[in-house]
Amino acid sequence: MKIKRIVLLSLLLCTANMWAATSDALLRLEAEMMNYIDTNKRDSFLLASNRLKEASKKAGNERLFYHAWSSQAIYEATQQNYDQALV
């Protein structure tokens, strides 16, 4: 009985550590993307936002995936590149 509790507790702690590491990585990617959103560095912004989309998709974080996707549309629209904003 005690062994089952120890194993369960160990699994929970490992899962929490992996989630925290994933969350930190996603937050860093989001911050990187947001650093470029109000600049003219289109290539850097698209690279950062695409990396965030890929990482958030792998982590199953739909909120960040759609945040990166919508940020790309907003970026293109504010740069008056309306055709790309609609893609």
First to last CA, the chain: 56
> Alpha carbon 83 to chain centroid distance?
25
Express each pLDDT in 23-39 by its tens digit.
Answer: 889 999 999 999 998 88
pLDDT tens readout for residues 26-73: 999 999 999 998 888 999 999 999 999 999 999 999 999 999 999 998
pLDDT of 15 reads 47
Domain coordinates in residue numbering, the chain: 26-85
Q: Does pLDDT of 87 surpass 60?
A: no
**Cβ atoms of 40 and 31 closer than 8 Å:** no
Residue where the block lists tokens 């120890």: 6
Residues 79, 34: Cα–Cα separation, whole Å = 15
Q: What is the pLDDT of residue 4?
A: 57
What pTM, to 2 d.p., does this model score? 0.68
- Give 3-state DSSP helix, strand, coil % of the chain, rounded to 5: 85, 0, 15
